[in-house]
Chain A
Amino acid sequence: MALFSKLKSALKKTKDLLRTDVRDLFKSGEILDEAKLEEFHRGLITTDMGVEASEEVVESLREEFGGRTVDPDAVWENVKNTLKEILKGDGSTNWDPENPLSPLNMATEGPTVILVSGVNGVGKTTSIAKLANYLTKSGKKVVLAAGDTFRAAAVDQLTKWSQRIGCEIVRKDPGTDPASVAFAGCDHAVQIGADVVLVDTAGRLQTQQNLMQELEKIRRVINKRIEGAPHESLLVLDATTGQNGISQASKFSDAAGCTGIVLAKLDGTAKGGVVVAIRKKMGIPVKYVGVGEQLDDLQLFSPDDFVEALLEES
């Protein structure tokens, strides 16, 4: 899959890099002391995975190797496995590199509805455009619902993307109830026999209760129009986000029943490690990652590659 190969090649490099890094940290035959564990702790914290997850990893190292002479490969295996296990979770999510749509729960009949939410500026609209582009290219009929009726020119933004992609868009006047736009989008999709509806929503902070209720309503209304919908509720997280990501995941899940995460802006220097903590606490899996501003800058998440990249020296 050419579309999802960019990150992989980038990760290849870092994998080798990391191996040497860890070897430097725990030279064969050296004793794993507190100073070394601390250094490792620093590396983990820097990924934004949080104190709890970091300490768990360090603790498992301390227990198994603490005060002993170190076999770097064993140490490395131990860390990798701990993190990968966390990210893979119960094994119910599929990330098949041959099929980038594999993590998505598709409707067995009629249009699949994907609701997209998240705090302001994380990359919701761009991620929708990227997904729509991929779906369209794979021969699916896509409808976008411009549910951000609040932010200035948000509808224009999504419209421009739809024109570039060549897919349909359902839009209403600014200030319209977003739930009614979502409803109209679903309605239109049913009528023209579309395969997928992507519903954009305005950015909101998870602490704004009225806006979280609005999101709940959007979800309810979608469900009223199409049974079983939304089939996917994707939370977009900005990879630069720190520990607040946990609060985002928990509160957006309460309102929108998140089934997956799109981790955007992973092309910067931030590692996005907070998804480890989120997966651990709430079980929400990452499904895609955003690696740029262009339409093809979306990639299928891979727990293995992500963990390799997570600990790369930046």
Chain B
Amino acid sequence: MFESITQNLTDALGNFTRGKLSEGNIRDGMAQVRKALLEADVNYDVAKSFCDNVTKQAVGDQVLKSLKPGEQIVGIVYNELVNLMGPVDHSIAIRRGEMAIIMMCGLQGAGKTTTCGKLATMLKEQGATPMLVAADLQRPAAIEQLRVIGEQVGVPVYWEEAGSSTPVKVCQNAQKAAKKEGCNVLILDTAGRLHIDDSLMKELVQIDNKLMPHQALLVCDAMTGQDAVNSAKAFNEALELDGVILTKLDGDTRGGAALSVKAVTGVPIKYIGVGEQLDKLEPFHPERMAQRILGQGDVATLLETAQRVLDAEEMEDQQQKMLEGKFTLDDFLKAMSQIQRMGSMKSLMKLIPGMGQMAQAMEAMDGMDPDKDVKRVKAMISSMTVEERRHPDRIDRSRRNRIAIGSGTDPAEVNDLLKQFKGMSGMMQQMAGMNMGDRMKAVRELQSEAMNPNSRGVSQGKQRSKRGDLTKDALREKKKKERQRQKKARKRKK
């Protein structure tokens, strides 16, 4: 069945790419897009407003006048999906010197207990000392399950006899126990419950009020159908969720629930579960999810083309800026994100004529990873102020140190980046004024420069990648603070 839907969509989107577009065939095509979304379990109303939105954009003048309007529409569909499911926020609040409390909740069988174990594993790896709390006194042997998981990941589990306690009491006592044991993260595994079960929902709110968790996370089965909006909405209304974790994405579900849940709650999807083992927790990426929802194969190929068209326009825009000497680090970051959005640097390089060999050569130079480099560059630029991004020449020693700390890199790397940027914008400025042949030549020069192991630049990746994870931590740290601030503000409003 999936094949036929993908086929329909391909046909529909294929129509877009042929000949002139009319409002009529845009609507026909969008009907197919809607069908594909519904088959992927996107909620009916969400799919409808999504398609209305895209149609509105597509019918606009700009698209119709552009060279290949069809591809652009596919691009709009994809980008709109990504925008709806983003922005990403992988932060989990951990306070230094204070205990962070994470409350997990969700329907029965969503995967809460396993996900608690996965979170504990992840946080422990990051240097936290988590404690798991068996607050599910409902399901037979739920406590035992968590205790086994705790043992597997080497994390203490707080529990009480199910018959002689209540979930609220267990959580409160756990808080004391964690203090005594010096744990700095408390993960509450609450019982699965129906969002329409008033007394059980009240119990959750009670725990929320008594413990004031820093994060309330909804665990949601990625295979959920149209009902996902109802449960997510109810949990969000009761608890003001901070994030969603989608589970069981290692199967063949298209995962439209991701779009639905994000659309109705506005709460970011933080992580996805991709296996039963306790290390199978990954950060959520809206781009990958969008591709998954739209299907693979031909549609993916169409998407790629569309993306290239879109990027070409943006690139032209950037070239214009370079030509005028207006290319800032902000634009640089945008270009970087664009590249990341399109897929890994390596596969991207393979697409560009002449660059494929370079990607191979880089792989051969043991373990160099251009993707990691992009991440680090992004982290560094993200740590700069707006002013610094516009005027990199104003970055002095103390600013450089601050940026290095903020991004988990070191000042020398920041220095390298600034140098590279300077060199690059100079070269870009030159290139923008060249014809195609000269440009190719310039690219080749860039290549040989990069492949020269003595030159600075890309080859730095080798020594950097060892500490790649630091970057993530630093970013998380930064975002965490921001979220805590927001959460406090929200609580006050309440």
List chain A positions with a Cβ less than 8 A from chain B. Answer: 42, 45-48, 50-52, 119-123, 150-154, 156-157, 159-161, 205-208, 238, 240-247, 265, 267-271, 274, 281, 293, 314
Q: Is B39 an interface residue (CB 8 A)?
A: yes
Docked-complex contact A207 and B251, CB < 8 angstroms:
yes
Question: Which of B1, B44, B148, B252 meets A207, CB within 8 Å?
Answer: B252
How far does the Cβ of A282 sit from chain B's closest Cβ, in whole Å? 11
CA distance A238 to B195 in the complex (A): 15
Docked-complex contact A121 and B227, CB < 8 angstroms:
no
Q: Is B141 an interface residue (CB 8 A)?
A: yes
With contact pairs A47-B226, A157-B140 given, residues A247 and B107 touching in the complex (Cβ less than 8 Å): no
CA distance A42 to B47 in the complex (A): 11
Docked-complex contact B230 and A269, CB < 8 angstroms:
yes
Docked-complex contact B145 and A152, CB < 8 angstroms:
yes
Question: Which of A161, A242, A270 counts the most chain B CB atoms within 10 A?
Answer: A242
Which residue from chain B places its CB closest to the CB of A246 in the assembled complex?
B1
CA distance A293 to B102 in the complex (A): 26
How far does the Cβ of A298 sit from chain B's closest Cβ, in whole Å? 15
Docked-complex contact B139 and A157, CB < 8 angstroms:
yes
Q: Return chain A residues, CB-CB under 8 Å to B223.
A: 119, 238, 241-242, 244-245
Q: Is B138 an interface residue (CB 8 A)?
A: yes
How far does the Cβ of B301 sit from chain A's closest Cβ, in whole Å? 23
Q: Return chain A residues, CB-CB under 8 Å to B224.
A: 240-242
Q: Return chain A residues, CB-CB under 8 Å to B248.
A: 119-120, 205
CA distance A267 to B139 in the complex (A): 17
CA distance A45 to B45 in the complex (A): 10
How far does the Cβ of A39 sit from chain B's closest Cβ, in whole Å? 11
Q: Is B41 an interface residue (CB 8 A)?
A: yes
Q: Is B109 an interface residue (CB 8 A)?
A: yes
Q: Return chain B residues, CB-CB under 8 Å to A46.
A: 44, 226
Q: Return chain B residues, CB-CB under 8 Å to A154.
A: 141, 145
Docked-complex contact A119 and B251, CB < 8 angstroms:
yes
Which residue from chain A places its CB closest to the CB of B193 in the assembled complex?
A293
With contact pairs A45-B226, A51-B38, A153-B141 given, residues A268 and B195 touching in the complex (Cβ less than 8 Å): yes
Q: Return chain B residues, CB-CB under 8 Å to A208.
A: 250
Report the contact-size class of chain B (Cβ under 8 Å from the partner).
Answer: 35 or more
Docked-complex contact B195 and A207, CB < 8 angstroms:
no
Q: Is B194 an interface residue (CB 8 A)?
A: yes
With contact pairs A247-B252, A269-B196 given, residues A238 and B39 touching in the complex (Cβ less than 8 Å): no
Docked-complex contact A123 and B108, CB < 8 angstroms:
yes
Docked-complex contact B109 and A206, CB < 8 angstroms:
no
The proximity string for B residues 30-69 relative to A, scoring 1 for CB distances below 8 Å and 0 otherwise, is 0000010011110011000000000000000000000000
Q: Return chain B residues, CB-CB under 8 Å to A238.
A: 109, 221, 223
Question: Which of B146, B194, B223, B230 counts the most chain A CB atoms within 10 A?
Answer: B223
Docked-complex contact B256 and A242, CB < 8 angstroms:
yes
Q: Return chain B residues, CB-CB under 8 Å to A50.
A: 39
Q: Is B110 an interface residue (CB 8 A)?
A: yes
What would 24 A/B residue contacts be, using CB atoms closer than 8 Å? Answer: A42-B44, A45-B38, A48-B41, A48-B225, A121-B221, A151-B145, A156-B141, A156-B144, A159-B141, A205-B248, A240-B228, A241-B221, A242-B41, A242-B225, A243-B39, A244-B41, A244-B253, A246-B1, A265-B109, A265-B194, A268-B107, A268-B196, A269-B196, A270-B226
Which residue from chain B places its CB closest to the CB of A42 in the assembled complex?
B44
CA distance A38 to B220 in the complex (A): 29
Q: Return chain B residues, CB-CB under 8 Å to A267.
A: 194
CA distance A267 to B195 in the complex (A): 11
Which residue from chain B places its CB closest to the CB of A238 in the assembled complex?
B109
The proximity string for B residues 200-215 relative to A, scoring 1 for CB distances below 8 Å and 0 otherwise, is 0000000000000000
How far does the Cβ of B9 sit from chain A's closest Cβ, in whole Å? 12
Docked-complex contact A51 and B225, CB < 8 angstroms:
no
Closest 3 CB pairs between A and B? A242-B225, A121-B109, A242-B41
Docked-complex contact A121 and B195, CB < 8 angstroms:
no
Q: Return chain B residues, CB-CB under 8 Å to A244.
A: 41, 223, 251-254
CA distance A48 to B231 in the complex (A): 15
Q: Is B438 an interface residue (CB 8 A)?
A: no
With contact pairs A156-B140, A269-B231 given, residues A242 and B109 touching in the complex (Cβ less than 8 Å): no
Docked-complex contact A268 and B194, CB < 8 angstroms:
yes
Which residue from chain B places its CB closest to the CB of A270 in the assembled complex?
B227
Q: Is B257 an interface residue (CB 8 A)?
A: yes
How far does the Cβ of B61 sit from chain A's closest Cβ, in whole Å? 28
Identify 15 new A-B residue pairs, CB closer than 8 A, beyond the known A45-B226, A247-B253, A293-B108: A46-B226, A48-B225, A52-B1, A121-B221, A152-B152, A153-B144, A205-B250, A240-B221, A240-B224, A242-B226, A242-B256, A242-B257, A243-B40, A244-B251, A268-B107
Q: Return chain A residues, CB-CB under 8 Å to B227.
A: 48, 240, 268-271
How far does the Cβ of B216 sit from chain A's closest Cβ, in whole Å? 20
CA distance A246 to B254 in the complex (A): 12
CA distance A42 to B144 in the complex (A): 43
Docked-complex contact B230 and A314, CB < 8 angstroms:
yes
CA distance A240 to B109 in the complex (A): 11
Which residue from chain A places its CB closest to the CB of B194 in the assembled complex?
A268
How far does the Cβ of B50 sit from chain A's closest Cβ, in whole Å? 14
CA distance A153 to B145 in the complex (A): 5
Q: Return chain B residues, CB-CB under 8 Å to A51.
A: 5, 35, 38-39
B residues 122-155 near A (Cβ < 8 Å) are 138-142, 144-149, 152
Which residue from chain B places its CB closest to the CB of A123 in the assembled complex?
B109
Docked-complex contact A205 and B251, CB < 8 angstroms:
yes
Q: Return chain A residues, CB-CB under 8 Å to B298.
A: none
How far does the Cβ of A203 sit from chain B's closest Cβ, in whole Å? 8
Which residue from chain A places its CB closest to the CB of B43 in the assembled complex?
A46
CA distance A271 to B253 in the complex (A): 19
CA distance A205 to B223 in the complex (A): 11
Q: Return chain A residues, CB-CB under 8 Å to B138.
A: 293
CA distance A157 to B162 in the complex (A): 13
Question: Which of A242, A247, A268, A271 meets B231, CB within 8 Å?
Answer: A268
Q: Return chain A residues, CB-CB under 8 Å to B230.
A: 269-270, 314
How far does the Cβ of B72 sit from chain A's closest Cβ, in whole Å? 26
Docked-complex contact A121 and B253, CB < 8 angstroms:
no
Q: Is B276 an interface residue (CB 8 A)?
A: yes
CA distance A240 to B108 in the complex (A): 10
Docked-complex contact B251 and A122, CB < 8 angstroms:
no
Q: Return chain B residues, CB-CB under 8 Å to A150.
A: 276
Q: Return chain B residues, CB-CB under 8 Å to A269.
A: 195-196, 227, 230-231
Which residue from chain A places its CB closest to the CB of B37 in the assembled complex?
A51
Which residue from chain A places its CB closest to the CB of B249 in the assembled complex?
A205
Q: Is B111 an interface residue (CB 8 A)?
A: yes
How far does the Cβ of B237 sit from chain A's closest Cβ, in whole Å? 14
Which residue from chain B places its CB closest to the CB of A38 in the assembled complex?
B48
Q: Return chain A residues, CB-CB under 8 Å to B109.
A: 120-123, 238, 265
Which residue from chain B places its CB closest to the CB of A265 in the assembled complex?
B108
Which residue from chain B places its CB closest to the CB of A50 in the assembled complex?
B39
Question: Which of B35, B149, B252, B253 meets A152, CB within 8 Å?
Answer: B149
Q: Return chain B residues, CB-CB under 8 Å to A119.
A: 223, 248, 251
Q: Return chain B residues, CB-CB under 8 Å to A270.
A: 225-227, 230
CA distance A197 to B328 in the complex (A): 71
Q: Return chain A residues, CB-CB under 8 Å to B41.
A: 48, 242-244
How far does the Cβ of A29 sit from chain B's closest Cβ, in whole Å? 28
B residues 412-471 near A (Cβ < 8 Å) are none
